[in-house]
């Protein structure tokens, strides 16, 4: 038994790092119950509404873990299947021509026409296949930005995106990167790499920069697209109290970030101990570290100032990945469950 815990092969090769001290739900992240007022649209048999986009036709388009894209009225009317891209569709973004771009964790980047026809945009970078395409953003000039969460712990090999994320963050090997794809040339290139689970991504309203969530390091980067700092990046908010997931453009230039789960003390405590993190994978699966259920989203500026901090301590709709903001409503996406939560803005007052 001792030999097993010391030497049994595991899929990770952990890298030592120093996790910042977790300040928890304090300061601008102080605990509240604003999201207790949220209600939800029932998705029936469909689960895992990881992202939602507002179409030019005024309908909601939702990615689910059964490989489908749902189409739903913003009023919460009947749910219909709009397209079947297969795999695991995650991030969604509408292009200028009205087609829907999909970051598919198994197939890469897909495009869905207004008639629901699915085609592949690109599935590899520098001759290597994408294995965990996560979130997507589109610039005004048509350039597509994609986060490849992990090059090592792909969706298929890891038996799911959630398991892949756990393995990647236990290893902390900087396996993630960000891709820029130019449709006019068909060329995809890496513009940021060495990220610990590259996740949410969004282009600023003025097209000057990207925001990129680095889930495994509890932080968000700003990557400059234009100006004197073009090609450079900086951390705008660090030491978040949870794992940042999607980043979505809100109104008035703000960005919404889903904190999919609180930080795990055991992961922080042993961040500098690769051997212990290996041993965590040698215990039975039911004893391995698991995400705690919570409901938490925040709104920030492009400089990292926290504008809003919304929580539900009862976590009725747990593992929130992000927010779609309309003039009247916040639609909240989640990694699990068959509900699409929403909160009327009047309930924020």
* Token code pair at residue 17: 């790092």
- What are 189-214's pLDDT values in tens digits? 999 999 999 999 999 999 999 999 99
Q: Spell out the SS3 assignment of 13-44.
A: CCCCCCCCCCCCCCHHHCCCCHHHHCEEEECC
Q: 258 to each of 135, 292, 299, 315, 324, how far by Cα in Å?
A: 13, 14, 9, 13, 11
CA gyration radius, the chain? 19
Q: Is 323:331 a contact under the CB 8 Å cutoff?
A: yes
pLDDT number for residue 107: 98
- What are 87-140's pLDDT values in tens digits? 999 999 999 999 999 999 999 999 999 999 999 999 999 999 999 999 999 999
Place of tokens 């894209």: 69
- What are 67-100's pLDDT values in tens digits? 999 999 999 989 999 999 999 999 999 999 999 9
Residue 54: burial class (beta carbons within 10 Å; 0-12, 13-18, 19+): middle
| Buried b / exposed e along 230-259 (16+ C-beta atoms within 10 A) | eeebeebbeebbbbbbbbbbbeeebbbbbb
Share the mean pLDDT of the chain.
96
- What are 288-340's pLDDT values in tens digits? 888 899 999 999 999 999 999 999 999 999 999 999 999 999 999 999 999 99
pLDDT number for residue 99: 98
* DSSP string for 142-189: S-EEEEE--SSS-TTTTTSHHHHHHHHHHHT---EEEEEEETTTTEEE
Q: Is 68:88 a contact under the CB 8 Å cutoff?
A: no
pLDDT at 152 over 70: yes
**Helix or strand holding residue 22 (H, E):** none
Place of tokens 């092969």: 9
The DSSP 8-state label assigned to residue 6 in this structure reads H
Q: Is 181:213 a contact under the CB 8 Å cutoff?
A: no
Cα three-residue angle 284-286-288, rounded to 5 degrees? 75
* Token code pair at residue 317: 């709709």
The mean per-residue pLDDT over the stretch 1-22 comes to 86
pLDDT number for residue 5: 66
Structural domains of the chain ordered from first start:
10-348 (2.120.10.30)
Closest CA to 41 of 26, 27, 60: 60
Residue 312 CA, distance from chain mean position: 20
Q: Is 266:6 a contact under the CB 8 Å cutoff?
A: no
pLDDT number for residue 286: 81
- What are 23-76's pLDDT values in tens digits? 999 999 999 999 999 999 999 999 999 999 999 999 999 999 999 999 999 999
Distance CA 14, CA 272 (A): 9
Q: Is 224:204 a contact under the CB 8 Å cutoff?
A: no
Distance CA 129, CA 208 (A): 29
What's the pTM value of the predicted model, to 2 decimals? 0.96
pLDDT number for residue 4: 62
pLDDT number for residue 285: 79
* DSSP string for 203-243: E-TTSSEEEEEEGGGTEEEEEE-SSTTTT-EEEEE-S-SEE
pLDDT number for residue 142: 97
Distance CA 107, CA 90 (A): 11
Place of tokens 């030592």: 16
**Helix or strand holding residue 333 (H, E):** strand 329-334
Max CA distance (Å), the chain: 61
* Token code pair at residue 278: 């290996």
Distance CA 152, CA 148 (A): 10
- What are 218-237's pLDDT values in tens digits? 999 999 999 999 999 999 99
* Token code pair at residue 142: 């048509």
What percent of the chain is predicted at pLDDT more than 70? Answer: 98
């Amino acid at each position: 038994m001792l030999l097993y815990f010391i030497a049994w092969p595991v899929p990770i090769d952990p890298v030592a790092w120093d996790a910042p001290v977790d300040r928890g739900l304090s300061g601008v992240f102080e605990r509240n119950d604003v999201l207790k007022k949220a209600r939800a649209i029932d998705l029936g048999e469909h689960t895992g509404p990881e992202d939602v986009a507002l179409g030019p036709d005024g309908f909601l388009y939702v990615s689910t873990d059964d490989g489908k894209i749902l189409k739903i009225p913003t009023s919460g009317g009947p749910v219909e299947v709009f397209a079947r891209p297969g795999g695991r569709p995650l991030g969604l973004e509408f292009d200028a021509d009205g087609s829907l771009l999909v970051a598919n964790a198994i197939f890469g980047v897909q495009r869905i026409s207004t008639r629901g026809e699915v085609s592949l945009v690109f599935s590899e970078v520098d001759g290597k296949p994408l294995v965990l395409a996560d979130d997507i953003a589109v610039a005004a000039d048509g350039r597509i930005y994609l986060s490849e969460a992990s090059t090592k712990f792909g969706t298929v090999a890891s038996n799911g995106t959630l398991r892949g994320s756990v393995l990647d963050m236990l290893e902390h090997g900087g396996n993630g990167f960000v891709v820029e794809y130019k449709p006019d040339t068909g060329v995809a290139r890496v513009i940021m790499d060495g990220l610990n689970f590259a996740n949410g991504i969004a282009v600023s309203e003025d097209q000057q920069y990207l925001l990129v969530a680095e889930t495994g390091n509890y932080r968000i980067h700003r990557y400059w697209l234009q100006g004197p700092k073009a090609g450079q990046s900086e951390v705008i908010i660090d030491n978040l109290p949870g794992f940042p997931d999607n980043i979505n453009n809100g109104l008035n230039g703000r960005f919404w970030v889903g904190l999919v789960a609180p930080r795990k003390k055991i992961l922080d405590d042993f961040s500098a101990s690769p051997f212990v993190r290996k041993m965590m994978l040698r215990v039975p699966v039911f004893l391995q570290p698991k995400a705690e259920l919570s409901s938490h989203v925040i709104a920030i500026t492009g400089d990292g100032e926290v504008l809003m901090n919304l929580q539900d301590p009862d976590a009725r709709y747990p593992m929130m990945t992000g927010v779609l903001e309309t003039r009247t409503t916040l639609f909240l996406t989640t990694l699990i469950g068959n509900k699409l939560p929403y909160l009327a803005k009047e309930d924020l007052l």
